[in-house]
Amino acid sequence: MTSHSSRAPIAQTSPGSRIVISGGTVVSGGTESRVDVAVVDGVIVEVGTSLSGDISLDATDSYVSSGFVDLHTHLREPGREEAETIETGSRAAALGGYTAVVAMPNTDPAQDSVAVVEFVRNAGKRAGLCDVFPSGCITVGRHGEQLAPYAQLSRAGVHLFTDDGNGVQDPLLMRRALEYSRDLNIVLAQHCEVSRLTEGAVMHEGECCTHMGVPGWPALAEELMLYRDIELVRVTGAPMHFLHLSTAGSVELVRSAKRDGLPVTAEVTPHHLSLTDEHLTGFDPLFKVNPPLRTREDIDALIEGVRDGTIDAVATDHAPHTDHTKQMPLDQAPPGMLGLQTALAVTNTVIGLSPTQVVDLFSVNPARIAGIADQHARPIAVGEPAHIAVWDLATTTEISRNDMVSKSRNTPYHGMTVRGRVRHTMFGGEIVVQEGKAQK
Amino acid sequence: MKHLLSARDLDRESIGSLLNLTDHMVEINKRPVPKVPALRGKTVASVFFEDSTRTRLSFETAAKRLSADVMTFSASSSSVNKGESIRDTVETLSAMGVDAFIVRHKSSGVPLAVTNWTSASVVNAGDGWHQHPTQALLDAYTITREKSTGNDLAGIRVAIVGDVKHSRVARSTTQVLTALGATVTFVAPTTLLPHDVSAQGAMASSSLDDVIDNCDVLYMLRMQKERMDHALIPPIGEYCERFALTSQRVQRLRSDALLMHPGPMNRGVEMQVDPSELAQSRILTQVTNGIAVRMAVLFSLLGSGSTSSLSQGNES
């Protein structure tokens, strides 16, 4: 191998070679310990001090944990490959420390059939950068009219079902969906939005939208559906997950539901924890997202929800869009922003996370909700699969849109200084990210 | 001033100087040959992605009276229909050599976006529900000159009646009038009020009958019947009963009050009287002043900065 390249040397992970992650602090099972981790053929074979191996991966001053799991990734393939492909999105995921992502079903065609979910899963396998777990639709074509074939899709490995992008509007259909799903060991996940209340809506309904003369998206539209679904969970007993909560009222509704012992879980995105509707006053569609950026009071409530466990997971809602669609007028541009590469740093910068909190919010809890806890977010222990992220919470970097490896570059954080970074990602024993650089 | 995008960008002082400049333009417009060479050699592109004949003609007339060359782009007959992006349109026209873009678009924020794609000046000629700053200035000019208040509107009570929520005119005019000291009351059912009235520096009333006796300016907005379809108002008859200017209500309008409307009027809906028969009507004065105000805006964006060039041609 020639050595004139300035890139980090590519670690060869040929069969049988022993990789040692050395010098780091392992965060697993709620404890931190200064140990090395040895991996051979995709499996952790030794955990201890001063280990040696064929290849050494430096983890000095860093934490070593199970790889992250994103509950909410839009990979755009099939159908919108100009914005993202499963391969480019997987690479962004790997750079963000993710070893598994749940692919949202609003593809074209939608992920409402075994054929489409198999396509997505296989394309993920071919990319080989992380596990891609396709979600399924709640309704056929995400049209909100007919139940999708949950049992068939479940047999094909789908655990999480959602019409994300749309909320299921019809309360009768939602009740039936929950009843039908209950015995299948799957979870339905709702995008909470009463669409009649958000027709034409562009951003949070508040003072900013008044000045800007654009239609508002009221908090009520999210909270009404959330309230309805919590009551449907109470009636049906089926578990439910709530996507990208954005309002203070939503946090309180979930908190109260959990207090009642209902089987509900919830996620929040890094952008709803870090940005407000005031970012939209320049009419820049980069800040347009659904649900919309809210207010400082909502952020404070969401952070409190993360701290007290009301919110189980941080999920990215990674939503790539091409430059030309994000240069349309604010009311016509599509909602969504990139998230995979910046999630840990942005969240840590806003909240100030402990290492164990990172593991719970980014790995353990999302893996449990996604139904993949038998494969991902495993303890760092002998015999476990080597899906590992190496990261820190102290290094300061400036986010640049030019560093985005997605096919699109619609990050709202360009130029923002953040704290924390992902150094290495190991997926199935293979070093897919080393020192912040994708290796394949 | 490089651009005119929003009435919010204008403070009392800059409004005052634009109104004073408008006095010059009014004088020019009264000459036998209402034309000065102040902007000779400058190119003004009127780029209307949304049709609006009267605003476009007003701007183009203003530009021509200052001797600017005018380029007209209208979306209905252009490449926009073939899928060309706004950015490409602006960059293409800009490459032809444009000094100022006059931009109208149905989406809020487009004129601001246009400033990213050209080094020319940009004037907002109306964007979505957002802003229509030259309308605000012509309204302020009309009121201050008709009331002979200088550039001060302290103590002047303005009632803006109708669909305030969807009105860029109400939004921008309120900002300019309140900056000059006027008191503005929105008169509309709550469904047609913006989300946060106080954030706009206005008050709200749901009864025209409560405010009509005591307003110095009655500013009627166009009411679109389609609003009924979106559950914003009950059948139009009830709306008119509460908020239209009827012959009964006109009796209560003070004789020194001004009746204004941004046009186009919806006769038989919000206007159930003929304004041409009303001494208080200044609706056509607004239109006339609109040209002078737009001349003042173009001159302050593109002119030499000296008003001496406005005297040229006076001999003719």
Whether A205 and A222 map to the same domain: the answer is yes
Cβ separation A330–B200 shorter than 8 A: no
Mean pLDDT along residues A343-367:
98
Interface mutation target, options B6, B129, B135, chain A, most CBs of A under 10 Å: B129
Judge if B170 and B303 occupy the same domain.
no
Rounded CA separation A303/A301 (Å) = 5
> What pLDDT does residue A230 have?
98
Q: Which residues on B lie below 8 Å from A322 (Cβ)?
A: none
Q: Does residue A240 lie within any of the structural domains?
A: yes
For residues A155 and A280, membership in a common domain is answered with yes
Q: Is residue B316 part of a domain?
A: no
Domain shared by A45 and A154, yes or no = no
The total number of structural domains in chain A stands at 2
Q: Final residue of a domain: which of A344, A370, A396?
A: A370
Which residue range is the domain that position A241 belongs to?
68-370
pLDDT of amino acid A3:
41
* Same domain, yes or no: B102 and B114: yes
Residue B208 belongs to some domain of the structure: yes
Assess whether A302 and A357 both reside in one domain. yes
Do residue B73 and residue B194 come from a single domain? no
Mean pLDDT along residues A66-94: 98
Which residues does chain A have within 8 Å of residue B129's beta carbon, measured at their own beta carbons? 213-215
Instruction: Confirm or reject contact between B315 and chain A (CB < 8 A).
Output: no
Same domain? B30 vs B52 = yes
Looking at the structure, tell me whether residues A348 and A245 fall in a common domain: yes
Range of B294's domain?
Answer: 7-131+287-310
Last residue of a domain, one of A350, A370, A390: A370
Mutate to test the interface with A, among B196, B227, B232 (most CBs of A within 10 A): B196
Q: What is the pLDDT of residue A7?
A: 44
Q: Is A67 on the interface with B (CB under 8 A)?
A: no
CA distance B229 to chain A (A): 13
B170 and B183 within one domain:
yes
User: Do the chains contact at B128 and A282, CB–CB below 8 Å?
Assistant: no
Claim to verify: residue B26 and residue B139 sit in the same structural domain:
no
> Residue B90: is it exposed, middle or buried by C-beta count within 10 angstroms (0-12/13-18/19+)?
buried
- Is A354 within 8 Å of chain B by CB? no
Residues A59 and A76 in one domain: no
Contacts of B199 in chain A (CB under 8 A): 207, 210-211
Q: Do B108 and A216 touch (CB under 8 A)?
A: no
Question: A124 and A44 share a domain?
Answer: no
A8 part of a folded domain: no
What is residue B207's predicted lDDT score, i.e. its pLDDT?
Answer: 97
* A13 within domain boundaries: no
A195 at B interface, C-beta within 8 A = no
Does A90 share its domain with A208? Answer: yes
Residues B141 and B109 in one domain: no
Is position A298 within any domain?
yes
The per-residue pLDDT for range A37-63, each reduced to its tens digit, is 999 999 999 999 999 999 999 999 999
Whether residue B238 sits in one domain with residue B190: yes
- Number of structural domains chain B divides into: 2
CATH label of the domain that carries residue A49: 2.30.40.10
Among B110, B112, B200, select the one facing A282 at the smallest CB separation.
B112
Considering chain A, what percentage of its residues have pLDDT values greater than 90? 96
Out of B8, B129, B199, the one facing A214 most closely (by C-beta) is B129
Q: Is B86–A216 a contact, with Cβ atoms under 8 angstroms apart?
A: no
Annotated catalytic residue within A163, A317, A360, A392: A317
On whether any CB of chain A is under 8 Å from the CB of B189, the answer is no
A280 within a domain of the structure (yes/no):
yes
Q: Does B282 touch chain A (CB under 8 A)?
A: no
Residues of B with Cβ-Cβ distance to A207 under 8 angstroms: 195-196, 199
Q: Which of A321, A344, A370 is the last residue of a domain?
A: A370
Q: Is A196 on the interface with B (CB under 8 A)?
A: no
pLDDT band for A1, please (50, 70, 90 cuts). very low
CB contact under 8 A, A205 and B195: yes
Look at residue A377 and tell me if it is in a domain: no
Question: Is some CB atom of chain A closer than 8 A to the CB atom of B107?
Answer: yes
Q: Within this chain, do residues A166 and A283 fall inside the same structural domain, yes or no? A: yes
Cβ neighbors of A266 (< 8 A, separation 6 or more) are: A241, A242, A245, A250, A254, A305, A310, A311, A312, A313
* B113 and B179 belong to one structural domain: no
pLDDT digits (tens, 9 = 90+) for B193-216: 998 899 899 999 999 999 999 999
- CATH number of residue A181's parent domain: 3.20.20.140
Where chain B has pLDDT below 50, the residues are 315-316
Q: Does A209 touch chain B (CB under 8 A)?
A: yes
Please, are residues B36 and B310 in contact by the beta-carbon 8 Å criterion?
Answer: yes
Question: Which residue, chain included where needed, has tokens 């950015």?
Answer: B87
Q: Are residues B159 and B269 located together in one domain of the fold?
A: yes
* pLDDT at residue number B308: 79
pLDDT at position A8 is: 46
When scoring B3, B91, B108, B173 by the number of chain A Cβ atoms within 10 A, the one with the most, hence best to mutate, is B108
ipTM above 0.95 for this complex: no
Write out the DSSP string of chain B.
---B--GGG--HHHHHHHHHHHHHHHHHHTSSS----TTTT-EEEEEESS--HHHHHHHHHHHHHTT-EEEEEEGGGSGGGGT--HHHHHHHHHHHH-SEEEEEESSTTHHHHHTTT-SSEEEEEEETTTB-HHHHHHHHHHHHHHHT-TT--TT-EEEEES--TT-HHHHHHHHHHHHTT-EEEEES-GGGS-S-SGGGT-EEES-HHHHGGG-SEEEEPP--GGGGGGTSSS-HHHHHHHHSB-HHHHHHS-TT-EEE--S---BTTTB-S-GGG-TTB-HHHHHHHHHHHHHHHHHHHHS-S-GGGGTTTTT-
Instruction: Look at residue B190 and tell me if it is in a domain.
Output: yes
The Cα of A228 is separated from the nearest Cα of chain B by a number of Å equal to: 23
Contact B171 A213 (CB under 8 A): yes
A283 in contact with B, Cβ within 8 Å: yes
**B195 and A209: CB-CB below 8 Å?**
yes
pLDDT digits (tens, 9 = 90+) for A257-304: 999 999 999 999 999 999 999 999 999 999 999 999 999 999 999 999
Q: Domain holding B210: CATH number? A: 3.40.50.1370
Q: What is the pLDDT of residues A179-227, one digit of tens each?
A: 999 999 999 999 999 999 999 999 999 999 999 999 999 999 999 999 9
Of A210, A328, A331, the CB nearest to B194: A210
Looking at the fold, whether A55 and A77 belong to one and the same domain comes out as: no
**pLDDT reported for residue B221:** 97
Whether residue A211 lies within 8 A of chain B, CB to CB, comes out as yes
Same domain, A425 and A366: no
B222 and B294 fall within a common domain = no
Residues B122, B143, single domain; the answer is: no
Task: Kindly determine whether residue A283 and residue B199, on different chains, have CB atoms separated by under 8 Å.
Answer: no
The verdict on A77 and A145 lying in the same domain is: yes
Give this prediction's pTM.
0.93
